[in-house]
């Protein structure tokens, strides 16, 4: 197998440029990803890992795609295993629940139509309930940066797959933090769109009035591009809403940040010193950005 120079931090811009300059081909990228997944199998990132037999169809169809009409042509992505991918089992982290869908979730279908390549299904806290990444019969998903630490959840495998260079981006879900906590713990961008902005048809529900499909990337530009592709109402989805994106109305920095007052802060476990240093560095970063800090008493939270 040909060895290729594929960075661990994968972005849409970098990969598209490599394709356009004929430095890489999509099948070479997929083969390298499959090798990376095999090397990381003890990380418990995947439930249905990438396999050529599942991906070949999507590679073959790239030849007939116009790059001008397919902004994600050849871009590989991972899917949390509570989001449907046609003909691939959905488990939601529970083997007793398993079913094989005969159509894609709306968000998956829109990404595929844009040329993206679905790789497989990633591990999660069972039924997307949990913020730790340890509540899965398919194994505890380990942190991408420090495997001895938790990955965060419930979209554990989706976050770690991107952080470990298995995918350019991945889909997760978020009902109460599942798409943002693992992003923070694995040094990623975690985008949770406004409720209803991305259709949830084809997603195993946790709480339908709160569920959102979310996104993990390395760069904000990638998240913005994917949002333009996926956002939009699905008339077959009763929870879908028409919510135009209004980036120009969003303030770059908040008016203030509320933090727990120092006497209320306690850290525990073998990494207490690292946590304290991280907290102090965060405060200094906020101060460097000239964002006002309001300290609050955390005992009542």
Q: Which domains does the chain have, with CATH numbers?
A: 12-249 (3.90.1300.10), 257-300 (no CATH)
Give pLDDT tens digits for 218-264: 999 999 999 999 999 999 999 999 999 877 666 678 899 999 887 76
- Reading phi first (left if > 0) and then psi (alpha if -120 to 50, else beta), residue 87 is in left
Predicted confidence at residue 276, as pLDDT, reads 92
Question: Distance of alpha carbon 97 from its chain centroid, rounded?
Answer: 23
Mean pLDDT of 188-192: 98
Give pLDDT tens digits for 43-81: 999 999 999 999 999 999 999 999 899 999 999 999 999
If we measure between CA atoms, which residue out of 232, 226, 191 comes closest to residue 212? 191
Predicted confidence at residue 191, as pLDDT, reads 97
Integer angstrom CA distances of residue 180 from 76, 187, 237: 21, 11, 24
If we measure between CA atoms, which residue out of 111, 122, 59, 121 comes closest to residue 88? 121
Predicted confidence at residue 301, as pLDDT, reads 65
- What mean pLDDT value characterizes the chain? 95
Give yes or no for a contact between 78 and 119, defined as CB atoms under 8 angstroms apart.
yes
What are the strands of the beta sheet with 117-122, ordered from one edge? 46-48, 117-122, 76-80, 169-174, 212-217, 189-191
Give pLDDT tens digits for 122-164: 999 999 999 999 999 999 999 999 999 999 999 999 999 999 9
For 168, half-sphere exposure in the C-beta direction (CA atoms, 13 angstrom radius) is 26
- Reading phi first (left if > 0) and then psi (alpha if -120 to 50, else beta), residue 33 is in alpha
Predicted confidence at residue 38, as pLDDT, reads 98
Contacts of 293 (CB under 8 A, 6+ apart): 256, 257, 258, 259, 283, 286, 287
Distance separating alpha carbons of residues 268 and 39, to the nearest angstrom: 32
Predicted confidence at residue 134, as pLDDT, reads 98
Give yes or no for a contact between 45 and 122, defined as CB atoms under 8 angstroms apart.
yes
Predicted confidence at residue 251, as pLDDT, reads 66
204-213, 246-255, 267-276: which has the highest mean pLDDT? 204-213
Predicted confidence at residue 253, as pLDDT, reads 85
Mean pLDDT of 19-40: 98
The alpha-carbon radius of gyration of the chain (Å, integer) is: 20
pLDDT of 109 strictly over 70:
yes
Residue with tokens 């999660």: 124
Residues annotated catalytic, as ranges: 80, 154, 178
């Amino acid at each position: 197998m040909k060895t290729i120079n594929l960075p661990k931090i994968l972005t849409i811009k970098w990969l598209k440029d490599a394709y356009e300059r004929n430095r890489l081909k999509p099948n070479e990228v997929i083969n390298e990803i499959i090798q990376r997944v095999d090397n990381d199998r003890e990380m418990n990132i995947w439930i249905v890992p990438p396999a050529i037999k599942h991906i070949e169809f999507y590679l073959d169809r790239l030849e007939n795609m116009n790059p001008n009409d397919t902004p994600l042509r050849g871009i590989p992505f991972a899917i949390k295993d509570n989001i449907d991918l046609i003909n691939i089992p959905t488990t939601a982290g529970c083997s007793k629940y398993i079913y094989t869908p005969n159509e894609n979730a709306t968000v998956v279908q829109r990404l595929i139509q844009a040329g993206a390549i679905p790789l497989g299904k990633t591990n999660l806290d069972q039924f997307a309930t949990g913020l730790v990444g340890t509540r899965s019969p398919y194994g505890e998903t380990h942190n991408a940066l420090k495997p001895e630490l938790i990955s965060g959840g419930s979209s554990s495998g989706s976050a770690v797959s991107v952080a470990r260079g298995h995918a350019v981006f991945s889909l997760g879900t978020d009902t109460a933090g599942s798409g943002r906590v693992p992003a923070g713990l694995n040094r990623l961008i975690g985008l949770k769109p406004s409720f209803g902005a991305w259709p949830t048809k084809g997603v195993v529900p946790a709480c339908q009035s709160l569920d959102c499909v979310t996104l993990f990337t390395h760069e904000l530009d990638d998240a913005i591009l994917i949002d333009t592709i996926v956002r939009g109402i699905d008339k077959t989805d009763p929870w879908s809403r028409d919510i135009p994106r209004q980036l120009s109305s969003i303030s770059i920095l908040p008016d203030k940040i509320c933090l727990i007052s120092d006497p209320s802060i306690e850290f525990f476990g073998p990494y207490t010193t690292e946590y304290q240093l991280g907290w102090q560095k965060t405060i200094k970063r906020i101060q460097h950005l000239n964002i006002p800090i309001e300290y609050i008493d955390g005992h009542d939270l």
